[in-house]
Amino acid sequence: MSRLPKLRQTRAELLRHIGSLEKMRRGSVVHQFHKIRRPGSQTPVFSGPYPLFTCKKNARTVARRLRDPEEVRRLEEQVENHHVFRRLCSQLVEVSEAICDEDRD
């Protein structure tokens, strides 16, 4: 029995899911800490966390400090959408290869 109809249905679902991802962004949101020394103390103290958005542009890493909690949430969501997009694309390639293997006419 051919798996072709099920594979084509899976492919259509993946494409629908990919199509639903509107806002995505490459990069990452990290939380940076700074090591500071207090006068008269031997032990450094960490200050932070400071949210930071980083991404590659023209083969260089660009960073931007985020101050607004809403912007942090929005950028984290956009970055996560990009990760989901990449996973779905990988699954789409696998399903498409399986379709090619099944459909040998």
- Read off the pLDDT of residues 73-96 as tens digits, 9 standing for 90 and up: 999 999 999 999 999 999 999 999
Beta bridge partners of 76: none
The length of the chain is 105
The predicted-structure confidence for 28-74, as pLDDT tens digits, reads as follows: 999 999 988 888 888 888 888 999 999 999 999 999 999 999 999 99
- The encoded tokens of residue 86 equal 């990449």
8-13 contact pairs (CB < 8 A, 24+): 8/99, 10/95, 11/92, 11/95, 11/96, 11/99
Burial label, 7 (beta-carbon count in 10 A; 0-12, 13-18, 19+)? buried
Beta bridge partners of 28: 54
pTM listed for this prediction: 0.81
To 5 degrees, how large is the angle CA 18–CA 96–CA 101?
165
**Residue pair 102/4 in contact by the 8 Å Cβ criterion:** yes
